[in-house]
């Protein structure tokens, strides 16, 4: 089944994840039977500090890791809600396969393991379910602590051939903190079973989800932006696709001085800089990015390297990039994949604190243009309320003070309401099913501030 199709996220649910006991978000495209393929789909998440915005981005990063078959970071174990034994993430995708819509759902349960010889965060259960429009939602593949694979009727040939070997492989994969469903071990075992449509279709779905996570899903978290703020590294997220090239990922270039990078990486950097400069002209007046070539050298292994320095050009004058503002460096870091999502309906870019360091009017203009003319999917968190005045209200979700119902859309918003003003009024006066803000007691806060400043006095 060698098919080309678009794919995008339609929903995400969290259970016992960080400060989210339960929370579910359906993206706007889930309401459209055609899933808005070819048109932009945006999700902006708003709410007070510590209310579950970053948790949403972390969950997407974990899903990306699972789908790629990579090991979960040990710190993922700390995301399990206090007093809970495990956490669960549910995500829904829609795929357009030969003009037919398939909805694909992935559920993963993660537990913490207290064993220094194993991964701290391990996957205890996984399930892939599919609804192809003609049939009801069906479980295509499931793996938990009791069963290697389910339903057995679909995997009888596979289980008969090497059930014990699969059990051993699953135990090894689980102890390493990897997904068994998306592991190469399982994929190769299924590949050996011929002439079984159910196996073939399952293998196809797994590979397409893996391709999406690897090549078309980009997660930009706070930790990534931290390197920028320290002026140590500049992570460039890139997606280059033309008739001759398809390269993707992240390339980190030191900016605290001249950097040495492999010679074959220079072409990638030059391409993404040229692509970005054509857009930067309209984003930042009189600004261009340049890679200055200082010279060639060899590393300790004898590989050809280039010594370079990234500089910004303003009115023809070169300035080392490390001296630019955090906002400009952040724009440079994410611009290439933002351009990719603008033009490619298969791309999804998720950015935590999209507004950090970015001028609010420019932020609004960027999002408004993406809303009107983009093709891909953009997910972001923000504290800046300017986008609320520009984006379709279906694109906006708010966090609540209730950990058992973390994410909601505001109800009773009329077409002539300014969503920004409506949000402020809701914080002050209520009127929704859930509270959106833990009210600050100004008198107690004032007393606490005064007391903290006089801690040494009687």
Q: Both ends of the chain: CA-CA distance in Å?
A: 78
| The two three-digit tokens of residue 306, written as one number | 């280039």
3-state secondary structure of 446: helix
Q: Which residues pair with 287 in a beta bridge?
A: 314
Give the position of tokens 């999917």.
377
| Half-sphere exposure for 34 (CA within 13 Å, toward CB) | 8
Give the pLDDT score at 34.
74
CA distances from 54 to 20, 221, 381 (A): 11, 8, 7
pLDDT value of residue 232: 81
pLDDT along the chain (458 residues), means of 10: 70 97 94 82 94 95 97 96 95 86 94 93 95 82 87 83 86 95 91 76 90 94 75 87 81 89 89 93 90 88 89 90 90 93 93 90 93 95 94 95 95 91 91 88 81 69
DSSP character string of 24-49? EEE-GGGGSTTTTTTS-EEEEEE-ST
Instruction: Return the pLDDT at 151.
Output: 87
Buried b (16+ CB within 10 A) or exposed e, 347-385: bbbbbbbbbbbbeeeebbebbeebbeebbbbbbbbbebb
Strands (E), 215-268: 217-220, 233-241, 246-254, 259-262
Output DSSP code: residue 77: G
Strand ranges of the sheet holding 217-220, from the earlier edge strand across to the other edge: 217-220, 348-351, 377-381, 41-46, 396-399, 407-408
pTM over 0.85: yes
Residue 455 has what pLDDT?
Answer: 62
Q: What was the pLDDT predicted at 2? A: 44
Confidence at residue 1, expressed as pLDDT on a 0 to 100 scale: 37
Phi-psi region of 321 (alpha: psi -120 to 50; beta: other; left: phi over 0): alpha
SS3 194: coil
């Amino acid at each position: 089944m060698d098919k080309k199709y678009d794919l995008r996220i339609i929903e995400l649910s969290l259970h016992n994840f960080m400060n989210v006991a339960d929370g579910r978000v359906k993206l706007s495209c889930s309401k459209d039977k055609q899933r808005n393929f070819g048109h932009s789909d945006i999700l902006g998440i708003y709410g007070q500090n510590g209310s579950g915005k970053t948790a949403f981005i972390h969950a997407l990063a974990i899903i990306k890791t699972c789908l790629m078959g990579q090991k979960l970071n040990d710190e993922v174990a700390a995301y399990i809600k206090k007093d809970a034994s495990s956490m669960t993430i549910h995500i829904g995708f829609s795929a357009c396969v030969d003009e037919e819509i398939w909805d694909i759902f992935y559920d993963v349960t993660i537990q913490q393991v207290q064993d220094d010889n194993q991964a701290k965060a391990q996957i205890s259960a996984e399930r892939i379910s599919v609804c192809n429009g003609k049939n009801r939602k069906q479980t295509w593949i499931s793996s938990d602590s009791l069963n290697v694979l389910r339903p057995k009727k679909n995997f009888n040939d596979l289980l008969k051939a090497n059930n014990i070997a699969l059990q051993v492989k699953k135990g090894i994969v689980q102890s390493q903190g990897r997904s068994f469903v998306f592991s190469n071990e399982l994929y190769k075992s299924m590949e050996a079973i011929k002439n079984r449509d159910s196996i073939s279709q399952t293998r196809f779905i797994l590979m397409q989800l893996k391709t999406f996570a690897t090549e078309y899903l980009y997660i930009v978290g706070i930790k990534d932006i931290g390197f920028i703020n320290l002026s140590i590294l500049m992570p460039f997220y890139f997606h280059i696709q033309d008739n001759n090239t398809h390269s993707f990922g992240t390339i980190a270039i030191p900016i605290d001085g001249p950097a040495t990078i492999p010679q074959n990486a220079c072409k990638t950097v030059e391409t993404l800089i040229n692509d970005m400069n054509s857009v930067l002209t309209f984003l930042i007046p009189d600004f261009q990015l340049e890679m200055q070539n200082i010279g060639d050298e060899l590393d300790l292994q004898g590989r050809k390297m280039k010594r370079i320095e990234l500089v910004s050009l303003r009115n023809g004058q070169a300035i080392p990039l490390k001296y630019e503002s955090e906002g400009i460096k952040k724009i440079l870091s994410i611009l290439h994949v933002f351009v990719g999502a603008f033009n490619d309906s298969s791309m999804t870019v998720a950015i935590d604190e999209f507004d950090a360091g970015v001028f609010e009017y420019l932020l609004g203009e960027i999002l408004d243009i993406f809303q009107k003319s983009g093709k891909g999917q953009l997910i972001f968190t923000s504290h800046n309320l300017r986008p609320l005045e520009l984006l379709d209200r279906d694109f906006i979700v708010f966090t609540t003070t209730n950990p058992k119902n973390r994410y909601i859309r505001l109800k009773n918003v009329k077409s002539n309401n300014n969503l920004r003003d409506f949000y402020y009024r809701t914080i002050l006066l209520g009127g929704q099913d859930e509270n959106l803000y833990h009210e600050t007691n100004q008198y107690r806060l004032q007393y606490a501030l005064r007391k903290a400043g006089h801690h040494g006095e009687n």
